[in-house]
Structure 1
Amino acid sequence: MMMHSTLPCLNSPGLRPDGFLSDDLSAVLELACRLKAASLAGRTGDRPLAGKNIALLRLGPGDAEMSVLHRAALDLGARVAHVRLGPPIDPGGTQFRHLSQMLGRLYDAIDCSSLTPAEVRQIEQHAGVPVYDDLEGIDHPAWVLADLMTLREHGCAIGPDARIDFLGEHAAEHSENHRFALQAMLLTTMGGT
C-alpha cells in the first residue's frame, strides 16, 4: 500500500484549517503524540468526551466498516451518529438554517463530508457547535499531522515541500497516527483537554 502526502508549511500565514492557526496545529501535534504515548503505555481508560454527541453528516449511507474518525471519537468516550442528508436544500435558505440549528441542539460537534465549503460554512454559522470540513478527508490537516508524527518517530527531517510515501508497516503506523491526530483535534475543539 502506498500513501502520498504533500506537506504544506505549517507556519504559512493564513493556514486556518477548521479554524486552526499554525501555533494551534503545533499544539495539536504535541497532544496527538501524548495520546499515542499514553495508549502505548496502556493508559487508555480516560474518556474525556464521555456524554458528548458527534454527528457524521454524510450525503450517502455510512460504510459498513467503522471509519477512523468514528473509532477515534468512540475511544474518547463520545457517542457517534451517522446522519444522512436527504434531498439537497438551498444553503442560503431558512430550511437549511433550521436544519443547522437543529443539528447544533442535538450534537456537540458535526463533521461534514461531501458538502461544499459554502454549505459547511452555513452549518457552522448556525449550529453553534464545532463544525468540521471532512476531518477524515485526504486534504485535511489531520493527515499532515499524522505524516509529521510518523516522520518524527523515525527521526526524519523534512522540508516544507516534502513528498512522502508510506509503504507496508509504515502505512499501518500512519493510519494509527491519523487516529491520534483526529482525537487531538476533537479534544482541542470540543474542550476535552
Structure 2
Amino acid sequence: MSLQDPSAPRAHARQLLQAAQAGSLQPLLRGKKLGLVCAAEDGEAALLFRRAAEALGAHVARLPVSLSAHSSAQEVQHTARMLGRLYDAIECQDMDSALVARVRQEAGVPVFDAIAAPAHPSARWATELDGPGSSDDKRLSLLQALLLSELA
C-alpha cells in the first residue's frame, strides 16, 4: 500500500461505497482477526476502525497500549511477534510512529499506524472522493480499501 499515491485506494473506496449503498458489500475479510492497539476503546478513531473492519466481516480485538518509547528492544520484539501470531493485521493508535515502525519490523503481519485517525492522510483522501455519500461513509470506505489492499 502506497501512502504516496492515493489513486488506487480512492478508486477501490468508490467501489466499496457503491456496494455499501446498494446493500451488496461483501464480507471480504471474513475469518480475519485484527488487533486494535489503542488507549480508549470508545475513541473516535478506534470506533471508526472497528466499524470499517467489522463491516467487511473481520473480527476486531481491542488491546491496551502496553509499549512505550522506553520499552526495551526485547520487549518490543516479543510483543510484536506475539501479536503477529495472534492477528492477521494490527492497527496501532496512540503510539509514537517510531515505536509502530519497530513493531512493524517484528510482527510479520501488516501493521497500520493510526489509519483511522483524523490526522492520517487517508482522512484527507476521503474528502477528495467524489460522488454520493456522506463524508463519514466515504471515510469508512477509504479505510476499508486500505485494509483490503493489505489483507485480501
TM > 0.5: yes
Q: Is the Cα–Cα contact under 8 Å of residues 65 and 95 in structure 2 kept in the other structure?
A: no
State which structure, 1 or 2, has the greater radius of gyration over its C-alpha atoms.
Answer: 1
Counterpart of 2:84? 104
Shift of 1:87: 6.5
Computed over aligned residues only, the root mean square deviation of the Cα atoms, in angstroms, reads: 2.1
Count, aligned residues: 151
Mapping of residues 35-54 of structure 1, within 5 Å: 35-44=16-25, 46-54=26-34
Q: Is the Cα–Cα contact under 8 Å of residues 104 and 129 in structure 1 kept in the other structure?
A: yes
Counterpart of 2:50? 70
Give the AA of the match of 1:68. L
Give the AA of the match of 2:131. E
Match of 1:182 among 131, 139, 143: 143
Shift of 1:94: 0.5
Structure 2 gaps, min length 5: none
Change (3 A) 1:64 1:118: closer
Structure 1 gaps, min length 5: 1-17, 155-171
Mapping of residues 25-174 of structure 1, within 5 Å: 25-44=6-25, 46-58=26-38, 60-63=39-42, 67-86=47-66, 88=68, 90-149=70-129, 152-153=130-131, 173-174=134-135
Q: Distance in 2 between matches of 1:138 and 1:126?
A: 26
Which structure 1 residue ranges, 4+ long, deviate > 6 Å from structure 2? none
The TM-score, its normalising length taken from structure 1, stands at: 0.72
The TM-score, its normalising length taken from structure 2, stands at: 0.90
Give the AA of the match of 2:19. A
Give % identity.
32
Q: Is the Cα–Cα contact under 8 Å of residues 54 and 79 in structure 1 kept in the other structure?
A: yes
